[in-house]
Amino acid sequence: MKKLILILFFPLILGCEAKNDFDNIYQSIDLAPLRTNNTFSQPFRILKTKISDATLFDAKYGNTDLSIGYVLRYYFYTGIDLNADSSELISMNLQTFSLKDSNDVLEISRDAIEEIRKMEYGSVEYEEFIGKYLSDCIDVTKIQNDCVIPAIYEPVCGCDGFTYSNSAEAQCNGILSFEKGKCD
């Protein structure tokens, strides 16, 4: 009988522990996600960054009227953990992706979104976001995730409002039009 009781209550104990772990993770996030998806091990992604100033995520995201933080937290289900030791993205299935070691909020955010768009579920989120805000600028069918980009620095400003190191990088990202030079 004691074995039966243990067998019945053991899953409940494990379930409570997992919930407490999630609660601890959620509470440690400086900028919590604005949406969650409960079909994964963790209902949101976590962007860990060395950046310490949350207000930097209030900057405009490219040629949209949205803030960088809002795009990440709402459209890409991503909480932002400031003051981390390194830059990384933790997916909803708990896989960790190393990101560029940068203190530039735009660079780290674009790097995170690039990783997200390569994920099965993240690619759907990316397509929905582009369809809503940048459909006249980015053709998602032309995006090449494993594109080889020449090391030549001849910056171009994409119609999305982002600077690319050269025209090849812009084209690999599905950018339909761009001008020579950096974006303002």
pLDDT for 5:
41
pLDDT for 22:
47
Q: How far apart are CA 144 and CA 170, in angstroms?
A: 10
pLDDT for 29:
83
pLDDT band at 47 (very low <50, low <70, confident <90, very high): very high
Q: Domain spans of the chain?
A: 9-133, 137-184
- The tens digit of pLDDT for each residue in 72-117 reads 999 999 999 999 999 999 999 999 999 998 999 999 999 999 999 9
- List, in sequence order, every residue forming a beta bridge with 31; answer none if it has no partner: 80
Percent of the chain with pLDDT over 90: 78
pLDDT band at 14 (very low <50, low <70, confident <90, very high): very low
- The tens digit of pLDDT for each residue in 152-174 reads 999 999 999 999 999 999 999 99
Find out whether 129 and 112 touch, Cβ atoms under 8 Å: no
Helices (H), the chain: 2-28, 68-70, 105-117, 120-133, 167-172
Neighbours of 48 (CB within 10 A): 22
- Estimate to the nearest angstrom the gap between the alpha carbon of 173 and the chain centroid: 16
89: three-class secondary structure by DSSP: strand
Neighbours of 153 (CB within 10 A): 7
Domain spanning 137-184, CATH architecture? 2-Layer Sandwich (3.30)
pLDDT for 129:
98
- The tens digit of pLDDT for each residue in 17-31 reads 444 444 555 567 899
